[in-house]
C-alpha cells in the first residue's frame, strides 16, 4: 500500500481470504484523514427528520441547520413541516451569556406560528459547551404551550452518527406510550428505520396491507407524532437499518414486551424474506397469511424477474464498489448485485460494528476489500485496484468515481427514486444499468489511450497565466 493509506488506518481495512478476520471499527475518525463521516447531530437529524408534523429546531449556530435544510428525500403524505429548516442561529452574545432565552423565545414563536404536534430541539456542539439546559427550557415551553417539546442530545463531538441515532431514539421513546391504543389489530406492526425516501414506506405498507397486517406507525418515514404515541399497541416491531432505530426497538421490548425482527426491503431475497418473517410471526393468528404472502411475492416476482433478466444480460460480470452509511444496507446490496450477475469487490461503511463487518466478510467473495470509515484517497485507490465498473455511495463519494471515469449510483438519504420493495429492485437495476452501460465510459482517459483533454498535455504555461 502506498502513502494514501495512513498507518493508523490500516487496522480498519481487511481483505477477505488474505488474513484472518480482524477489523477495528467504531473508533473516532482520525484527525486530518478527511473522513466521509458526519457527526452525532447528523445521526439524530437523519432519523427524526421525516416526522412530518413535528417542529425540528436546531439549537446552534446557523451552519448546522443550513446544511440540513430539506436535504433528505423523505416525503410526507400530509404535513410538510419537516421540510423547513429552523434554527436559533446563535450569535456571539448568546454564546457568551447562554442561549436558553433565545431558545425559549424561538420555541414559543415557532410553536405559535406552526402549531406542530410536537417539537424536537437538537443540541449542537456549541450548545453542549455553553451548557444550556435544554431539558429545562423544553419542559417549561411544554407546560405552557401544551405541545410536547423534546430535547435531542446530539452534540456533534460526542461521537459519530451512531450516538446520534441513540439520542434520537431516546427522544422518541418519550413519546411512545402516551397515546391511546384502542382499536389496533392484533396483526399489527411498526415499521422502524425506514425513511420513506421517494415513498418507499408506502410500498412496504402496501405489501403488509395485502397480507392483512396493519401498520400502526412508520418510524420515522412519513412519520406522525400521534402514531408514535400509540405505537406500543403494535404486536411486532420491524427494524430496518442497522443502527438507526434498533435502540428504540430494544427499549420498547423491555418496557412493553413488543418483540422485534430485523428486516430489509432492499433486493429481491431480503424483501421477500422480510415479508415471510412477518407472515411466520402472525401465522398462528391468521393461518391464511402464509399463502397470501406467497401469492403476493409470486405475483411481484413474475413481473419483476423477466425485466431483471433483460438488464442482467448487460450487467453480468461487472464489478461494484460501495461505501454506505450503515453496513446493514450493504448486506442487502451485495445480494441484490448477485441477482444482476455482478460482484461486489469493495465494501465499506461509515458506522459498521464488528459483528456487521464479520457478517459482511462471511457473505463476500474472497479478495473483497472491507473498509471502515474510509476517505477519498483510500476509496479512489480501491476503485482503481479492483477496476470496478460502478460505485455505490452518497453525494460526497460521487466525484471520486466520476473523476476516475467510473459509473456511480446514489444510494443515500437524498435519493428521489424508490429503491425498496420489488418495484424498487427494478428501479435500482435500471439505475445501475444506466450507470454502467452509458457509452461515455469508452472515452474515459483511464480506459483509453487518448488523454481527456489537451489541457493537461499542452496547457498554457503557468508563467503566462499567473506569474
Partner 1 sequence: MANTYVSTTNACKMCTPMGAALVFKGIENAVPFLHGSQGCATYMRRYIISHYREPVDIASSALGEKSAVYGGGPNLKKGILNVMRKYDVDLVGVATTCLTETIGDDVGRYLYEFREEFADLPLPELVHVSTPSYSGTHMEGWHAAVRSLADQVVKEKGASHGGVNLLPGFLSPADYRFLRGLGERSGVRFTMLPDLSRTMDGVIWDDYHSLPDGGTPVADIRAMGGAAGTIEFGMSGGLAESASGVLERKFGVPARKTMIPIGLRATDAFMDTLSEFAGCDMPEKDAFDRGRLLDAMVDGHKYIFGKRAVVYGEEDFVIAMCSFLGEIGVQPVLAATGTQGERFREAVTEALGDVCVNMPVIRSGADFKDIEEEAAELAPDLLVGHSKGYKLARASNIPLIRVGFPIHDRFGGQRILHVGYEGALSLYDMLVNAVLEKSQDECPVGYGYL
Binding footprint of ligand SF4 on the chain (CB under 6 A): 39, 41, 60-64, 124-125, 156
Task: Verify binding: residue 4, partner 1, rule CB under 8 A.
Answer: yes
Supply the minimum distance, in Å, between the C-beta of residue 466 and ligand SF4. Answer: 31
Q: What is the sign of the dihedral through the CA atoms of 150, 155, 158 and 164?
A: positive
Q: Which is nearer to partner 1, 50 or 156 (CB)?
A: 156
Tell me the HSE value of 110 on the side-chain side, using a 13 A CA sphere.
Answer: 29
C-alpha cell at 131: 451548557
Which residues of 354-395 form beta strands (DSSP E)? 369-372, 390-393
| 454, burial (CB in 10 Å: exposed 0-12, middle 13-18, buried 19+) | exposed
Which does residue 129 bind out of partner 1, ligand SF4, none, counting CB within 5 to 8 angstroms by kind? partner 1
Q: Which is nearer to partner 1, 43 or 424 (CB)?
A: 43
Supply the minimum distance, in Å, between the C-beta of residue 86 and ligand SF4. Answer: 14
Q: Which stretch binds partner 1 (CB under 8 A): 36-44, 205-213, 235-243, 362-370?
A: 36-44
Backbone angles phi and psi of 238, in degrees to 5: -110, 120
Q: Which is nearer to ligand SF4, 39 or 258 (CB)?
A: 39
Chain positions 16 to 35 lying near partner 1, rule: CB under 8 A, are 28-35
Q: At what angle do helices 289-315 and 421-437 cross, to 10 degrees?
A: 0
CB neighbours of 434 closer than 8 A, spacing ≥ 6?
Answer: none
Helix (H) or strand (E) holding 253: helix 246-256
Supply the minimum distance, in Å, between the C-beta of residue 92 and partner 1. Answer: 5
Task: Verify binding: residue 199, partner 1, rule CB under 8 A.
Answer: no
Which does residue 458 bind out of ligand SF4, partner 1, none, counting CB within 5 to 8 angstroms by kind? none
Helix (H) or strand (E) holding 315: helix 289-315
Supply the minimum distance, in Å, between the C-beta of residue 101 and partner 1. Answer: 9
- Contact of 324 with 393, CB cutoff 8 Å: yes
Which does residue 178 bind out of partner 1, ligand SF4, none, counting CB within 5 to 8 angstroms by kind? none
Which residues of 10-88 form beta strands (DSSP E)? 13-15, 54-59, 86-87
The dihedral over CA atoms of 240, 243, 244, 245, expressed in degrees to the nearest 10, equals 70
Residue whose C-alpha cell is 483511464? 446
Q: Which is nearer to partner 1, 300 or 378 (CB)?
A: 378
Q: Which of 12, 13, 23, 37 binds partner 1 (CB under 8 A)?
A: 37
Which does residue 457 bind out of partner 1, ligand SF4, none, counting CB within 5 to 8 angstroms by kind? none
Q: Which of 85, 145, 261, 283 binds partner 1 (CB under 8 A)?
A: 85
Q: Which of 1, 22, 84, 434 binds partner 1 (CB under 8 A)?
A: 84
Q: Which is nearer to partner 1, 88 or 332 (CB)?
A: 88
Q: Which of 67, 180, 253, 434 binds partner 1 (CB under 8 A)?
A: 67
- Contact of 24 with 353, CB cutoff 8 Å: no
Backbone angles phi and psi of 222, in degrees to 5: 50, 40
Q: Which is nearer to ligand SF4, 73 or 164 (CB)?
A: 164
Q: Which is nearer to partner 1, 381 or 427 (CB)?
A: 381
Chain positions 140 to 159 lying near partner 1, rule: CB under 8 A, are 156-159
Q: Which is nearer to partner 1, 12 or 218 (CB)?
A: 12
CA-nearest of 346, 387, 317 to 16 is 346
Q: Which of 76, 87, 123, 332 binds partner 1 (CB under 8 A)?
A: 87
Task: Verify binding: residue 72, partner 1, rule CB under 8 A.
Answer: no
CB neighbours of 460 closer than 8 A, spacing ≥ 6?
Answer: none
Diameter over CA atoms, the chain: 82
Backbone angles phi and psi of 6, in degrees to 5: -75, 145
C-alpha cell at 12: 480498519
Supply the minimum distance, in Å, between the C-beta of residue 109 and partner 1. Answer: 5
Q: Which stretch binds partner 1 (CB under 8 A): 62-70, 213-221, 271-279, 339-347?
A: 62-70
Which does residue 438 bind out of ligand SF4, partner 1, none, counting CB within 5 to 8 angstroms by kind? none
Chain positions 355 to 384 lying near partner 1, rule: CB under 8 A, are 375-377, 380-381, 383-384
Which does residue 442 bind out of ligand SF4, partner 1, none, counting CB within 5 to 8 angstroms by kind? none
Q: Which is nearer to partner 1, 69 or 309 (CB)?
A: 69
- Contact of 296 with 213, CB cutoff 8 Å: no
Q: Residue 324: beta bridge partners?
A: 349
- Contact of 88 with 103, CB cutoff 8 Å: yes
Chain positions 401 to 460 lying near partner 1, rule: CB under 8 A, are 402-405, 444-446, 451-453, 455-456, 460
Supply the minimum distance, in Å, between the C-beta of residue 70 and partner 1. Answer: 8
103-142 footprint of partner 1 as x/- string (CB under 8 A): --xx--xx-------------xxx-xxx------------
Angstrom distance (rounded) from CA 209 to CA 149? 33
C-alpha cell at 68: 440540513
Q: Is the peptide bond before 220 cis (omega within 30 degrees of 0)?
A: yes
Q: Which is nearer to ligand SF4, 138 or 388 (CB)?
A: 138
- Contact of 191 with 201, CB cutoff 8 Å: yes
Amino acid at each position: 500500500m502506498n502513502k494514501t493509506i495512513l498507518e493508523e488506518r490500516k487496522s480498519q481495512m481487511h481483505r477477505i481470504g488474505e488474513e484472518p478476520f480482524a477489523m477495528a471499527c467504531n473508533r473516532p475518525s482520525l484527525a486530518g484523514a478527511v473522513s466521509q463521516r458526519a457527526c452525532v447531530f447528523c445521526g439524530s437529524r437523519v432519523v427524526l427528520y421525516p416526522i412530518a408534523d413535528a417542529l425540528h429546531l436546531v439549537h446552534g449556530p446557523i451552519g448546522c441547520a443550513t446544511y440540513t435544510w430539506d436535504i433528505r428525500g423523505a416525503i410526507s403524505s400530509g404535513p410538510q413541516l419537516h421540510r423547513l429548516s429552523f434554527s436559533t442561529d446563535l450569535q456571539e452574545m448568546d454564546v457568551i451569556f447562554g442561549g436558553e432565552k433565545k431558545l425559549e423565545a424561538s420555541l414559543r414563536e415557532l410553536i405559535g406560528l406552526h402549531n406542530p404536534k410536537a417539537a424536537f430541539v437538537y443540541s449542537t456542539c456549541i450548545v453542549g459547551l455553553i451548557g444550556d439546559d435544554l431539558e429545562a427550557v423544553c419542559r417549561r415551553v411544554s407546560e405552557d404551550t401544551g405541545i410536547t417539546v423534546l430535547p435531542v442530545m446530539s452534540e456533534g463531538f460526542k461521537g459519530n452518527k451512531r450516538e446520534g441515532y441513540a439520542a434520537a431514539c431516546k427522544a422518541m421513546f418519550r413519546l411512545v406510550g402516551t397515546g391511546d391504543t384502542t382499536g389496533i389489530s392484533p396483526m399489527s406492526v411498526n415499521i422502524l428505520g425506514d425513511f420513506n425516501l421517494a415513498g418507499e414506506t408506502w410500498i412496504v405498507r402496501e405489501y403488509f396491507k395485502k397480507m392483512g397486517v396493519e401498520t400502526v406507525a412508520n418510524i420515522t418515514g412519513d412519520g406522525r407524532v400521534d402514531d408514535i404515541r400509540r405505537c406500543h399497541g403494535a404486536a411486532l416491531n420491524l427494524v430496518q437499518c442497522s443502527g438507526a432505530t434498533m435502540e428504540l426497538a430494544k427499549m420498547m421490548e423491555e418496557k412493553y414486551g413488543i418483540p422485534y425482527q430485523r428486516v430489509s426491503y432492499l433486493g429481491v431475497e431480503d424483501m421477500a424474506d422480510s415479508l415471510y418473517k412477518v407472515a411466520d410471526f402472525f401465522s398462528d393468528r391468521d393461518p391464511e397469511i402464509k399463502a397470501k404472502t406467497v401469492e403476493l411475492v409470486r405475483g411481484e416476482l413474475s413481473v419483476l424477474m423477466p425485466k431483471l433478466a433483460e438488464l442482467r444480460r448487460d450487467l453480468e460480470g461487472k464489478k461494484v464498489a460501495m461505501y454506505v452509511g450503515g453496513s446493514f444496507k450493504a448486506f442487502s446490496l451485495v445480494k441484490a448485485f448477485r441477482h444482476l450477475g455482478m460482484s461486489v469487490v469493495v465494501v465499506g461503511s461509515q458506522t459498521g460494528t464488528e459483528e456487521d463487518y464479520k457478517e459482511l466478510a462471511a457473505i463476500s467473495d474472497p479478495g473483497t476489500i472491507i473498509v471502515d470509515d474510509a476517505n477519498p484517497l483510500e476509496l479512489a485507490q480501491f476503485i482503481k485496484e479492483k477496476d470496478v465498473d460502478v460505485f455505490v455511495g452518497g453525494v460526497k463519494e460521487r466525484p471520486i468515481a466520476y473523476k476516475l471515469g467510473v459509473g456511480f449510483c446514489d444510494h443515500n438519504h437524498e435519493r428521489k427514486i424508490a429503491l425498496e420493495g420489488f418495484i424498487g429492485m427494478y428501479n435500482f437495476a435500471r439505475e445501475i444499468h444506466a450507470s454502467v452501460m452509458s457509452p461515455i465510459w469508452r472515452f474515459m482517459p483511464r480506459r483509453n489511450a487518448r488523454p481527456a483533454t489537451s489541457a493537461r498535455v499542452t496547457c498554457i504555461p503557468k508563467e503566462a497565466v499567473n506569474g
